[in-house]
Amino acid sequence: MEHLTTRKIIGAAIEVHRRLGPGLLESTYEMCLAQEFKFLNISYERQCSYPLIYREVLLESGFRLDFLVEKQVVVEIKAVEAISNIHVSQLLTYLRLLNLRKGLLLNFNVPALKDGIKRVSNEPEETSLRPSTFSAPLR
């Protein structure tokens, strides 16, 4: 289900980027992506604020997401030269705090949006299912 949702989100983002191109503010892309979600009947929450418990104290507005799409995928909008490790760490923290598995970083400040999409997962890697790059072939 999350895979289908991320595909719909990426399709909507590509449409926004196709119409606007790079060079605008994050807030502009966010507003337009919200409109695209409406056109496509994709359910979302925008600029959602979530509480955070820190040292047993409830902080009403602990953090804020750009989008939570279909209650399962966190989307963070960027308009930067390049996505950095801190952007990925931020999204991973959001996913961990909300106990969600999938997130997307969408950087609209690129000539082709496919180069500005970063999928982020909060799932432990299943290394036992992946062949080791150091193992010799079986004979």
Q: What is the predicted pLDDT for the residue at 11?
A: 98
Q: What is the predicted pLDDT for the residue at 125?
A: 61
At residue 132, does pLDDT exceed 60? no
Nearest to 1 by CA among 77, 65, 67, 71: 71
Within 8 A by CB and 6+ apart from 102, the residues are 2, 5, 6, 72, 73, 74, 95, 119, 120, 121, 122
Q: What is the predicted pLDDT for the residue at 86?
A: 97
Number of H helices, E strands in the chain: 3, 5
For the entire predicted model, the pTM comes to: 0.85
Q: What is the predicted pLDDT for the residue at 8?
A: 97
Q: How long is the chain?
A: 139
